[in-house]
Structure 1
Amino acid sequence: MQRHHRYYDLLLAAFVVVLLCSNFIGAGKVATLDLPIFGTVIFGAGILFFPIAYFFGDIMTEVYGYAHDRRAVWMGFAALAFAALMAQVVIALPVAPGSYMAGYQSGLETVFGNSWRIALGSMIAFWCGSLSNSYVMAKMKILTQGRHLWTRTIGSTAVGELVDSSLFYMIAFYGIWSTSEIIQVALAQYVLKTLWEVLATPMTYAVVGFLKKKENEDYYDTHTNFTPFKIKV
């Protein structure tokens, strides 16, 4: 009989919210930041929040196992697909007369007109990256016999973010941004998101410790079917 987990649904909901907001609100804006050693760094604004999704993914894999994180990834995939469809339908609807609505329509097209590419890029990149992250973390947990959590969270994120960053910006913005800008932003994205995971390590330890105690769960994926094409846990 499948166990009931008190906090998994909350983590799942938070995961999907972060994924949607970081991709549709922040992904399209390129920002700059002046750093002492690196100089001016160009990055996608969504990077400030998107790594939280990987934070939740690491926690779900560590506590509940690969299959629970795989289900969360598929839920996020479905949410992104619906949001992209909704954006295109809203943009395509005839605009009511008036200068206000004309300006509003222009703003919608600017913000969400490329949403289908952002959603497609995000779905492909995150699906591949997140499942790679979860797989590496689950396998490393077995290899390390559950010790040294920080090696798993940072190591798996380095792999997952490499896959994610390599795919997302090329799919979402090729032909819209210059190739050099895509490469620069993708590289900054990878470095900053991996660094974010390093800085979040104390918080990861605290949340994982709390959940393992409250849920009485510390899952090892010893006999897990790692196929990505399943939703059932």
Structure 2
Amino acid sequence: MLLYLNGLFVGLLILANIVAVKLFSIGHWAVLPAAAIIYIFTYPIVDVIVEVYGKETGRRTVQAGLITQLLALIFIFITIQLPAAPVFGHQSEFKTILGGSFRVIIASLVSYAVSQNLDVYVFNKLKKKHGTKKLWLRNNASTMLSQLVDTAIFISIAFGGTMPIVALMVLILTQYVCKFCASIVATPIVYLLVGLARKTEAKNSSLLS
């Protein structure tokens, strides 16, 4: 089960980076990158891993995600630099969609590294305090705090100096509200995945004994 969770986690990270260039709006009050609807689900996956397999396993998953993102960026850069064939008439569009800006890329990596490790730390602290009880509390508390840090860091690095501070704060607030609501909605998914992971581990243990 851990293998599948790690694969899902890394896959969602890469997919989020690919679609990040697309912006969408919720009514007239919130503008979010398309990556947000994918990236928010990486936190519950890490929480499931820490809950079932422990803090160190969760940290290794986060590290693997960071390394994979760096490798993906390197290979994307290489593919962009390859000379386009005469029959390929969409080189500029290809570069626009996959290239991104250096500042946004740095913002994404820094916010990821800080927020995901914070999520692991907070979740593990609460797990030590409550044991197997109150999974909903440590899942939501760690995710909501980490999402706030992630949003604040990303927007500050990516857009700081390009707009008034008030506009930055509004952008952070509106995006965080959406992520906050999504975290609550994802709670049943965490319970489902934790149940499946524990059932799988119990089955594997019985086969080995």
Q: Give the structure-1-normalised TM-score.
A: 0.78
Query: By how many angstroms is 1:156 displaced?
Result: 0.4
Aligned to 1:230: none
Q: Distance in 2 between matches of 1:182 and 1:87?
A: 29
Q: Which amino acid letter does the alignment assign opposite residue 25 of structure 2?
A: T
Higher helix share: 2
Aligned to 1:78: 67
How well do the aligned residues superpose, as a CA RMSD in angstroms? 2.2
Query: By how many angstroms is 1:216 displaced?
Result: 3.3
Q: Distance in 2 between matches of 1:17 and 1:115?
A: 22
Q: Distance in 2 between matches of 1:16 and 1:210?
A: 19
| Alignment map for 1:21-170 (pairs within 5 Å) | 21-25=15-19, 27-34=20-27, 40-97=29-86, 100-101=88-89, 104-114=90-100, 116-170=102-156
1:196 aligns with one of 182, 186, 196: 182
Moved more, 207-216 or 146-155: 207-216
Q: Distance in 1 between matches of 2:186 and 2:24?
A: 22
Report how many residues are paired.
Answer: 202
Q: Which amino acid letter does the alignment assign opposite residue 194 of structure 2?
A: V
Q: Which amino acid letter does the alignment assign opposite residue 8 of structure 2?
A: A
Deviations 1:68-106 (A, max 9, x none): 1111111111111111112222222333346x42xx111
Q: Which amino acid letter does the alignment assign opposite residue 134 of structure 1?
A: V
Q: Distance in 2 between matches of 1:70 and 1:86?
A: 25
- Determine if contact 1:80/1:119 at 8 Å carries over to the other structure: no
Q: Distance in 1 between matches of 2:101 and 2:75?
A: 10
Query: By how many angstroms is 1:174 displaced?
Result: 4.6
Q: Distance in 2 between matches of 1:87 and 1:171?
A: 22
Seen in structure 2, the aligned counterparts of structure 1 residues 181 and 92 have a Cα distance that, compared at 3 Å, is farther
Query: By how many angstroms is 1:115 displaced?
Result: 5.2
**Secondary structure in 1 matching 2:73:** helix
